[in-house]
Amino acid sequence: MLFGPPGAGKGTQAGAMVERFNLCHLSTGELLRSEIAAGTPLGLQAKALIEAGNLVPDSVVEGMIEDKFQSVKGVKGFLLDGFPRTLAQAEALDAILAKRGEQVTACVSIMIPDALIHERIAHRAQIEGRADDARPEVVENRIKTYHDKTEPLIAFYKKAGKYSEIDGVGTIEQVRERIFSAMDKF
C-alpha cells in the first residue's frame, strides 16, 4: 500500500509503481471522485463529507475495495492508495485479504512536512481544479485528520514488519528511486 499525508505524491508515484511491479492502482480518492462525477447515491453522500475534509464511512470504502479485489484480474497485486486510513480499516483490510488467502505485503510511506503539504495541495488545486483542495480550512482539516487518524497506522505496520518510510522531499525521480529501492526489499 502507498501511504502518506495529502499532497505527499502518492498519485504522482503510483503510475510508475504499477508499471514496474504489474499492480492495479486502487485510489480511494479516484474511486470516490468517479462516483461523485456519476452522481450515484454513494457519490452524493461522499461529496458532502469530502468537501468538508472528512473521511467517507469505512463500510463504503471497504465495499469498494473488496469489489475491486474480486473484479480485477491479470495483475500481481494491488497498490492501495488512500486505504486504509484508520486502524479499524487496517483490521478490516486484513480480514478481507484473509478471506482470499492473502495479506498486505508492504506499506510504503511517503513523508513530507506539513508546510510542504500546504504548498503542494494549493498547487494541485490550481492545476487539477479539485474543490477538495481549494479551501485552506478544508486542507487544514485533512492534515489534522491524517495526523490524528492515519498516522497511528505507522506503528501498526511497523509492528507487522511491513513498514518502509520514504523521504518525499526531492524531485519526482529521486522519490521514485527511493520507493523502488524500498519495494525491491519486499
Q: Catalytic site residues?
A: 10, 85, 124, 130, 142
- Contacts of 139-143 with CB under 8 Å at 24 or more apart are 139/6, 139/53, 140/53, 141/52, 141/53, 141/54, 142/6, 142/53, 143/5, 143/6, 143/114, 143/117, 143/118
Other Cβ atoms closer than 10 A to 144: 12
Other Cβ atoms closer than 10 A to 104: 17
* Residue 26 near residue 81, CB atoms below 8 Å: yes
CA 64 to chain centre: 14
Q: Which helix (H) or strand (E) holds 100?
A: none
Closest CA to 182 of 105, 87, 70, 78: 105
